[in-house]
């Protein structure tokens, strides 16, 4: 692996392999090339396979870097599945691939929230962020936590069946739930992060529901963005598409690709 800094004028060879991080190792793919580095952050329990259509839409003019988070896809398990661990994993992948920036961060769901926070901490390394159906809202407090725990308890027998499709982690139902509870708390507290964003943050939003959501709940969550957009011109909605939360990358990949192109062209 090269430790040389990657810029839009350097050329890096394609590479796939495992990157050691703390007590685990992450499965990483880097298409290489001399194009703008685009780093993809997966949904909460999803693997990198969900980005295939977006990457195909964008084509070889970009350097596409994807990876599976801890216990997802081909990555190894860990004792730490926290949000902070996920932020450290972004650092580790970029360091291993010699990428110093500026990059475009593209995050779906959980990965969208990660993208705001990583960009907030590393504004000089980010050209911009594309967020796919994530928003600064969450189920919080004891009532929210209990609802999430009940949902994953009901799903406990389905999770192993969802893993081969890249939609569940090699984690227990309780670990899935606790990760989701933490995400909801962090997402709900993320309004200030977006209000002070100094790099473009473009949202591609769905219109349908998500697993476990109630009727019209997701649209109410998306509406939380309206006052932020009014306050910070760096935060915009690039597109709103007909898909639901789970199928947006598969059904509306062109909208995501267009937002990436718009961001990379800055």
CA distances from 210 to 149, 203, 213, 245, 247 (A): 16, 17, 5, 5, 9
The reported pLDDT for the residue numbered 208 is 79
Phi, psi of 173 (to 5 degrees): -60, -40
**Per-residue model confidence (pLDDT) at position 101:** 76
Mean of the per-residue pLDDT values of the chain: 93
Strand-pairing partners, residue 201, are 129, 235
The span from the CA of 32 to the CA of 153, in Å, is 41
pTM (2 d.p.): 0.93
Q: At 65, phi and psi to the nearest 5? A: -120, 115
- 43-73 per-position pLDDT tens digit: 999 999 999 999 999 999 999 999 999 999 9
Q: For 10, left (φ over 0), alpha (ψ -120 to 50), or beta?
A: beta
Of 217-221, 236-240, 259-263, give the lowest mean pLDDT range. 217-221
In tens, the pLDDT along 158-178 reads 999 999 999 999 999 999 999
**Which of 69, 37, 35 has the alpha carbon at shortest distance from 50?**
69
Short-list 202, 205, 255, 210, CA closest to 232: 202
Sign of dihedral through CA atoms 21, 25, 28, 33?
positive
């Amino acid at each position: 692996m090269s430790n040389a800094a990657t810029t839009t004028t350097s050329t890096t060879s394609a590479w796939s392999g495992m990157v050691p991080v703390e007590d685990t190792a992450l499965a990483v793919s880097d298409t290489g090339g001399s194009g703008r580095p685009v780093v993809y952050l997966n949904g909460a329990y999803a693997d990198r396979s969900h980005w295939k259509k977006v990457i195909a839409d964008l084509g070889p003019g970009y350097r596409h870097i994807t990876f599976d988070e801890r216990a997802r896809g081909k990555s190894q398990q860990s004792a730490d599945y926290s949000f902070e661990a996920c932020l450290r994993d972004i650092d580790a992948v970029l360091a291993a691939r010699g990428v110093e920036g500026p990059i475009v961060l593209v995050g779906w769901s959980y990965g969208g929230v990660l993208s705001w926070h990583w960009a907030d901490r590393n504004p000089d390394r980010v050209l911009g962020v594309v967020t796919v159906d994530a928003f600064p809202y969450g189920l919080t407090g004891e009532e929210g936590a209990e609802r999430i725990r009940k949902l994953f308890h009901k799903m406990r027998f389905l999770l192993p069946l969802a893993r081969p499709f890249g939609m569940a982690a090699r984690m227990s139902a309780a670990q899935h739930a606790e990760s989701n509870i933490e995400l909801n708390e962090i997402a709900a507290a993320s309004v200030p992060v977006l209000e002070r964003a100094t790099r473009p943050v473009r949202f591609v939003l769905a219109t349908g529901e998500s697993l476990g959501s109630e009727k019209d709940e997701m649209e109410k969550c998306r509406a939380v963005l309206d006052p932020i957009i009014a306050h910070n011109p760096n935060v915009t909605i690039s597109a709103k598409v007909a898909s639901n939360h789970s199928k947006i990358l598969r059904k509306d990949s062109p909208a995501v690709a267009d937002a990436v192109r718009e961001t990379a062209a800055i």
